[in-house]
A and B are shown apart, each in its own frame.
Chain A
Amino acid sequence: MKTVILFMVLLYVCDVAYTSIYLKSNPRNKLQYILNTKNENFDIVFLGSSRVANHIDTKLFDSLSNKKTINLGVQGAGLNDNLLQLRLLIESNNVYNVFLQLDDNFERTGPTALGTAAAMPFIRNNVIKEHTKEYFENFNALYYIPFYRYAINDPKIGFREVFFSLMGKKPRIDPSVGYNPKFGNDLSQKGKLPKTISRVNSILDEIRRICKEGNINLILFVSPYSSATGNMDYIEKLKYKIPELIDLSKGYDDELFFNYGHLNNKGGQLFTKRLYYSTLKKI
């Protein structure tokens, strides 16, 4: 019995310790950075997955447009995670233009472990609490069981990350800039887009609603794919469904790719310029 009580106490102590460290440490990821921003004006915000993080050279876009730009693309993130980022960002900042990257993420509405793990230490934050309650089946366990949220997200917010936060180690990617360039060229691995497309995506509708209510200019675009990607007609179906979608998925040499679905640094810079000139009149 003593051992069981000791275990419960340790769970609680670890939960409190981890949460305190995350609350007091310098931001080491983009979500933490958003939570730390107050009353800032963001002219341009990029939302999406690694196909945003690796593709949009923030400083280049900033200098081309002369507007304050931030890249909030997160590896593995889906639209649901982007919705949470947007909700948190507009909670205490001003946002004028949102660039949202669409591709096969249109097929999913649920949160992803990679995308939202970073939010778990801050589950007591009202926006995160409500979002988690709305979309996470295990909300009660995440909210009420001590340490549960850290245990199931251990690769992202486990011991290693909390240790680095405590030590004040700087992250590899500056979250206030957000561009994560890739180097090299390896198309040996093939990728595939889905064959069929969903009718609607409720998360995209919610993002549209929030932008409309907040007078935020929403621009939807597709990042490039290499020739190693199958079922490319999916993008045409997506474009048919969303006519305002800016389709930049084609027209890049394979040598500009890091892998089948991600540009390398050289490709990223070319794409950033192309996206800027394609949307020049919209921002």
Chain B
Amino acid sequence: MLFNSLDFAVFLPMVFILHWLVSKKGCRYQNLILVVASYVFYGWWDWRFLLLIVFSTIVDYSVGLSLSKEDHVKKRKALLLTSVFVNLGLLGFFKYYNFFIDNYTTVFSFFGSKIQPNSLEIILPVGISFYTFQTLSYTIDVYRRKLEPTKDFIAFSVFVSFFPQLVAGPIERATQLLPQFYKKRSFNYNQAKEGLYLIIWGLFKKMVIADTCAKYANDIFSKYESMNSLSLLLGAIYFAFQIYGDFSGYSDIAIGTSRLFGVDLMKNFKYPYFSRDIAEFWRRWHISLSTWFRDYLYIPLGGSKGTRWMNLRNVFIIFLVSGFWHGANWTFIVWGGLNAIYFMPLLLANKNRRHLNDVALERIFPSFREFMAMLSTFLLTTLSWVFFRSNTVNEAFMYLKRLFSFNFNGGMQYLAIERYAPELMILIICFLFVEWHSRTKEHPFFDKLRYFKLMLILLGIITLGNYSSVNDFIYFQF
């Protein structure tokens, strides 16, 4: 079920009413409603994959309970490894099986051996990368004795399958989310109102910004061989806004929807395109995944401790794994590697933590230096998105080669045809202005003008939203 679909517009109010109708009976009933709703929400795509979620839930619940009863170090480790193997095994099979088989075949063919590839027609279950990482965080935290294992199976089931964030995050930590399902939730009008504002802002980002940019980005990327440099630059910029609007829009809707049920989720985006360097960008983009890798991979590897060489190695590992997490394609690995390369100079100069605050605090405009820093970070990020968006690494290189050929024949070639492009550029500039104005807040509806802004944004959704071609959220494929 898509957040921007009619099905969800019917589904959400129904679950909302049911959830608060049973609130007097206690949190167990509320949780039960949420589990059923989450399974319906997920099963809407393909009910068969519900079995995977249920299986993962049972395994990690049992491992958690067993860990609480076990003090023997080796046995505890074995239990943890069971959970890791089951979760990563499922992820590996559904997401990476064909990738490894294809590459294995290619390598052997290169050396002259003929191997009959055994590729399978595997459908990737929606959101598997997200809920797998979420449940893993539970067993790892229980193993580390940071969290008491839960004995409440229903609460644990909601934690694994909570529908607002089930298919594309934010990837929650058990320590933060699970305790919220232990206690009865009372309806809080202000919390629900803030949730609704976030949903509206998220819908605007998705339906107006992302889906409109998608039309252009798709068109330009599919015809890149006949596009000039300016058009290719625009294509990359449109994709940068498409993926930002799409993913941060989804996160806002997820966080907003959760608040309607009295549940707080972690922030996933903090205006990343206003970052002054790549390190700051990664503190503001897909925060739940970055912090997951930081806590469960980077720190166990040694983090920033040890020699400079080890620091560099750890950073490279994190970025490469993060790229591979996104998809079974070399394009994502190169994308991760490229970001690691961007990060290197900051790490070597010890400047990776110099921008921890918001840019231009208590000022209306940034300084020239800040502006140039933001612009250069945005352009670097946009270049790396070319790999993320392309079908193959070769295609990405060809795209960039044409982009840097500085061929401006035909000027704004793509914009010359009678389409929405000029309006889209105006729209993006207005969007950036609104984001800049509200960069220290969660959404733009915070000051005296909030009702006026709300009306404008609703008008924008109604008149500029894309309804005829409803697009899946990009991160559903991961």
Residues of chain A lying within 8 A (CB to CB) of residue B469 = 155
Q: Cβ of B418 and Cβ of A154 under 8 Å apart?
A: no
A170 near B: Cβ within 8 Å? no
A126 near B: Cβ within 8 Å? no
Q: Cβ of A159 and Cβ of B463 under 8 Å apart?
A: yes
A191 near B: Cβ within 8 Å? no
Pick from A32-40, A47-55, A145-153, A231-239 the stretch touching chain B.
A145-153
| CB 8 Å contact bits of B447-465 with A (1 = contact, 0 = none) | 0000100110011001111
A140 near B: Cβ within 8 Å? no
Pick from A6-14, A91-99, A210-218, A261-269 the stretch touching chain B.
A6-14
Q: Are A10 and B467 CB-contacts (below 8 A) given A160-B420, A160-B423? A: no
B166 near A: Cβ within 8 Å? no
B468 near A: Cβ within 8 Å? yes
Q: Tell me the chain A residues, 1-40 only, with Cβ under 8 Å from chain B.
A: 3, 6-7, 10-11, 14
Q: Shortest distance in angstroms between B256's beta carbon and chain A's nearest beta carbon?
A: 12
Q: Are A11 and B468 CB-contacts (below 8 A) given A3-B454, A6-B454, A172-B418? A: no
Q: Which residue of chain B is the closest to A159 with respect to CB atoms?
A: B463
A230 near B: Cβ within 8 Å? no
A113 near B: Cβ within 8 Å? yes
Residues of chain A lying within 8 A (CB to CB) of residue B200 = 3
Q: Cβ of B458 and Cβ of A6 under 8 Å apart?
A: yes
Q: Cβ of A11 and Cβ of B466 under 8 Å apart?
A: no
Q: Shortest distance in angstroms between A131's beta carbon and chain B's nearest beta carbon?
A: 20
Q: Which residue of chain B is the closest to A148 with respect to CB atoms?
A: B467
Complex CA gap A54/B85 in Å reads 61
Chain B contact residues: over half helix, strand or loop, or mixed? helix
Q: Cβ of B458 and Cβ of A154 under 8 Å apart?
A: no
Q: Shortest distance in angstroms between B189's beta carbon and chain A's nearest beta carbon?
A: 10
Residues of chain B lying within 8 A (CB to CB) of residue A151 = 462, 465, 467-468
Q: Cβ of B459 and Cβ of A10 under 8 Å apart?
A: yes
Q: Tell me the chain A residues, 167-192 only, with Cβ under 8 Å from chain B.
A: 172
Which of B423, B451, B459, B468 contacts A14 (CB under 8 A)?
A: B459
Q: Which residue of chain B is the closest to A11 with respect to CB atoms?
A: B462
B209 near A: Cβ within 8 Å? no
Q: Cβ of A14 and Cβ of B455 under 8 Å apart?
A: no
Which of B193, B420, B466, B468 contacts A113 (CB under 8 A)?
A: B468
Complex CA gap A155/B423 in Å reads 14
| Size bin of chain B's contact surface | 20 to 34
Q: Cβ of B458 and Cβ of A10 under 8 Å apart?
A: yes
Complex CA gap A155/B465 in Å reads 10
Complex CA gap A276/B465 in Å reads 46
Q: Are A154 and B467 CB-contacts (below 8 A) given A3-B454, A172-B418? A: yes
Complex CA gap A6/B418 in Å reads 34
Q: Which residue of chain A is the closest to B197 with respect to CB atoms?
A: A3
B196 near A: Cβ within 8 Å? yes
Q: Which residue of chain B is the closest to A10 with respect to CB atoms?
A: B458
A76 near B: Cβ within 8 Å? no
Which of B193, B423, B455, B465 contacts A154 (CB under 8 A)?
A: B465
Q: Cβ of B462 and Cβ of A10 under 8 Å apart?
A: yes
Q: Cβ of B467 and Cβ of A152 under 8 Å apart?
A: yes
Residues of chain A lying within 8 A (CB to CB) of residue B462 = 7, 10-11, 14, 147, 151
Q: Cβ of A153 and Cβ of B468 under 8 Å apart?
A: yes
Residues of chain A lying within 8 A (CB to CB) of residue B454 = 3, 6
Q: Are A14 and B463 CB-contacts (below 8 A) given A6-B458, A7-B458, A160-B423? A: yes
Which of A6, A10, A154 contacts B468 (CB under 8 A)?
A: A154
Residues of chain B lying within 8 A (CB to CB) of residue A153 = 468
Q: Cβ of A158 and Cβ of B418 under 8 Å apart?
A: no
Q: Cβ of A3 and Cβ of B196 under 8 Å apart?
A: yes
| CB 8 Å contact bits of B176-209 with A (1 = contact, 0 = none) | 0000000000000000010011001000000000
Q: Shortest distance in angstroms between A70's beta carbon and chain B's nearest beta carbon?
A: 23
Q: Are A158 and B458 CB-contacts (below 8 A) given A3-B196, A113-B468, A152-B468? A: no
Q: Which residue of chain B is the closest to A146 with respect to CB atoms?
A: B462
Q: Which residue of chain A is the closest to B215 with respect to CB atoms?
A: A155
Q: Are A159 and B464 CB-contacts (below 8 A) given A10-B459, A14-B459? A: yes
Residues of chain A lying within 8 A (CB to CB) of residue B467 = 151-152, 154
Q: Tell me the chain A residues, 122-156 only, with Cβ under 8 Å from chain B.
A: 147, 151-155
| CB 8 Å contact bits of B391-415 with A (1 = contact, 0 = none) | 0000000000000000000000000
Which chain A residues have a beta carbon within 8 Å of chain B's beta carbons?
3, 6-7, 10-11, 14, 113, 147, 151-155, 158-160, 172
12 new A-B pairs (CB below 8 Å) besides A151-B462, A154-B465, A154-B468?
A3-B196, A3-B197, A3-B454, A6-B455, A7-B462, A14-B462, A14-B463, A113-B468, A151-B467, A153-B468, A154-B466, A159-B463
20 contacts between A and B (CB under 8 A): A3-B196, A3-B454, A6-B451, A7-B458, A7-B462, A10-B455, A10-B459, A14-B459, A14-B462, A113-B468, A151-B462, A151-B465, A151-B467, A152-B467, A153-B468, A154-B465, A155-B468, A158-B463, A158-B464, A159-B464
Per CB-CB distance, the 9 closest pairs between chain A and chain B, nearest first, are: A151-B467, A159-B463, A154-B468, A10-B458, A14-B462, A152-B467, A7-B458, A159-B464, A152-B468
